[in-house]
Amino acid sequence: MKTRFLSIILFIGPSITLMFIFLIIPIFFSFFLSLTNFGAFAMYDWSKASFIGFENFTELFKDELFWKALFNTFYCLIVALPVTVILALGSAIMLNREQTYFKNFFKVSYYLTFITNTVAIAIVWRWILNSQYGIMNYLLGLIGIEGPNWLGDPAWTMPSVIMLVVWRAIGYNMILFLAGLQNIPEYLYEVAELDGATRWQKFIHVTLPMLRPTMLFVTVMMIIGYLQLFQEPYMLTGGGPLNSTLSIVLYLYEQGFQYFNLGYASTIAVILFLIIMGMTLLRMRATKST
Amino acid sequence: MRKKKTSFFGQIGIHSVLFFGSLIMIVPFAWMVSTSFKLPEEVYLIPPRWIPNKPTLENYTDLFDAMNFGRPFMNTVIVALSITFLSVMLSSMAGYGFAKFKFRGREKLFLIVLGTLMVPGQITMIPVFLMLNQMSLVNTYEGLIFPPIANAFNIFFMRQFIKSLPDELIDAAKIDGANEGFIFFKIILPLTKPALAAITIFTFTGSWNSFLWPLIIAQDESMYTLPVAVSVLGGQYTERIALQMAGACIVIAPLIIVFLIAQKYFIKGIALTGLKG
């Protein structure tokens, strides 16, 4: 039975229309803006902005702050991704054992960090990491470690940001891994045991290969999410000190909405978009080829 | 499920690790709550005091009286509920259309929808801001509510769920003369309750937590949402730690309440996205 045209328009139309207005057309618009010198002067009269070709791009590639932001963002991705995977998968495996008690308590407490608001909890972390009065350094002091100036020393600011990012991400990814683990058929382990496989061999040859779809999903989501790092550095350090926590999105926000260099900010957005697409495709191809 | 015996020490070890992990997850919340009830003189004590000697509500009353936190609170409630209602409604309609309607170009159109999932929000932010500015919708509820409604994830999620419902249900109703509206509201929607619950919760918490967009659109204090208000609080009252913690509590408390009530849907919903993705 063919569906009536009117039904199609009524059911799918509203979503598609909104999607075109707020998502699809703006993407093209963004590419166009990146080729203009759109600034505060053009906000109320778009005709004042002019087309400047790839000037924004050449300028961006010479912009030291942009390279700094790029470096910091990848610093976060490269450290936070494996750490999150290891901690989330480790917790999921421990929770998936039949002999583990208080499963629900653990699940809820790990997951709590993910559902809470980043801005609000970052303000709490800023207080926890306060070098003089924070409980972090107090607790470290109890075991004889002199804690660093977490948010003041440029060497420690990115680790602080990454700590918050990972802390928030573990629970969510743990739930995903747990679902993946529960989908592995039991007989695979039994067969492996008959062959005399050790616990480690079972992990390498049964668990990991069977988790591949989950692993792909988890890492792709993390790549997309971590490359958009913004709230954590914005709240913890505001990008400082000495731009040591400036991320791509934070730089985009500053250029676009503090200086209103909207053309230049669009260029940053376009580059970010291309990086995210590229990294996602790379990750997907890596799975296909193995 | 593994049936192998673990040694007594193994059991102790694994539970200690898990318990230590929970502690790391929970302590910041406990510290936030505890500090939010402290008077300034107790905030800076070393060693820290976990339970304030003289607990006070002063920070909360200050927040609502002097800082007018009621306004961002109401704004957030209005915006989050509107986005959730509209998005869940429109996405489930579109999800139904993509799952059960037969028309040319359906798969292509759906691929476009899916493609938008990979697009980072930052790339649409500036053009949408300029468009809204042109229509004088910056600093309005419309500007906060409309852009996030079209949600590819929700459409995808509902389509997957509705696809698994048998076509016979719909065909039988059609033979009885039911129109698409009746079929959707009376037959399909009641069967999708678990999926609806999941996307309702995701959309609500997502819009409650939304930060960058309100930060750009809400330029006037009267339009601030809670996360924006809290970030401003953190910037302006750097010395009033207890006040900041009270602000954080107000943003987080509703989320925890929603989570504890709807825990089952949260966890099921997430597990579903992972398996289908």
Question: What is the DSSP annotation of chain B?
Answer: -------HHHHHHHHHHHHHHHHHHHHHHHHHHHHHT--HHHHT-SS--SS-SS--SHHHHHHHHTS-THHHHHHHHHHHHHHHHHHHHHHHHHHHHHHH---TTHHHHHHHHHHGGGS-HHHHHHHHHHHHHHTT-TTSHHHHHSTTT--HHHHHHHHHHHHTS-HHHHHHHHHTT--HHHIIIIIIHHHTHHHHHHHHHHHHHHHHH--HHHHHH--SGGG--HHHHHHHHHHH-TT-HHHHHHHHHHHHHHHHHHHHHHHHHHHHHHHHHHHH-
User: Does residue A209 have a cis peptide bond before it, meaning omega lies within 30 degrees of 0?
Assistant: no
Rounded to a whole number of angstroms, the distance from the CA of A155 to the nearest CA of chain B is: 23
pLDDT of A86 > 90? The answer is: yes
Quote the DSSP letter at residue A36: B
pTM for the complete prediction? Answer: 0.91
Quote the DSSP letter at residue A134: -
| Alpha carbon A254 to its chain's center | 19
**In terms of C-beta density within 10 A (0-12 exposed, 13-18 middle, 19 or more buried), how is residue A102 classed?**
middle
* pLDDT tier at B275, thresholds 50, 70, 90: low
Q: What is the pLDDT of residue A290?
A: 58
For range B220-247, the mean pLDDT: 91
**pLDDT tens per residue, range A184-239:** 998 999 999 898 888 899 999 999 999 998 999 899 999 999 999 999 999 999 98
d(CA A29, CA A269) in angstroms, rounded, equals 12
Helical pair A212-227 and A262-289, crossing angle rounded to 10 deg: 170
Of the candidates B197, B208, B137, which has an alpha carbon nearest to the alpha carbon of residue A117? Answer: B208
User: CA A152, A155, A158, A162 torsion: positive or negative?
Assistant: negative
Beta bridge partners of A51: A36
Q: Which chain B residue lies closest to A109 (C-alpha atoms)?
A: B22
Q: What is the pLDDT of residue B24?
A: 94
Contacts of A105 in chain B (CB under 8 A): 22
**Number of cross-chain residue pairs from A and B with Cβ atoms under 8 Å apart:** 285
Average of per-residue pLDDT values in chain B: 89
SS3 state at A4: coil
B202 at the A interface (CB within 8 A)? Answer: no
B18, B97, B124: residue with CB nearest A27:
B124
What is the C-alpha R_g of chain A? Answer: 24
Q: What is the pLDDT of residue B277?
A: 39
Beta bridge partners of A36: A51
State which amino acid sits at residue A100: T
User: CA A193, A195, A197, A202 torsion: positive or negative?
Assistant: negative
SS3 state at A19: helix
User: Contact at 8 Å (CB) between A214 and A287?
Assistant: no
* pLDDT tier at B116, thresholds 50, 70, 90: confident
Q: What is the pLDDT of residue B265?
A: 79
**In terms of C-beta density within 10 A (0-12 exposed, 13-18 middle, 19 or more buried), how is residue A83 classed?**
middle
Contacts of A1 in chain B (CB under 8 A): 102, 171, 174
Q: What is the pLDDT of residue A240?
A: 82
Helical pair A154-182 and A212-227, crossing angle rounded to 10 deg: 150
pLDDT of B47 > 90? The answer is: no
Q: Supply angle C-alpha B34, B264, B211, rounded to 5.
A: 55
Q: Which of B25, B144, B249 is the best residue to mutate to test the A interface, defined by the most A CB atoms within 10 Å of its own CB?
A: B25
Q: Do A252 and B122 touch (CB under 8 A)?
A: yes
If contacts are CB pairs under 8 Å, which of residues 138-197 in chain B contact chain A? 146-150, 152, 155, 171, 174, 180-181, 184
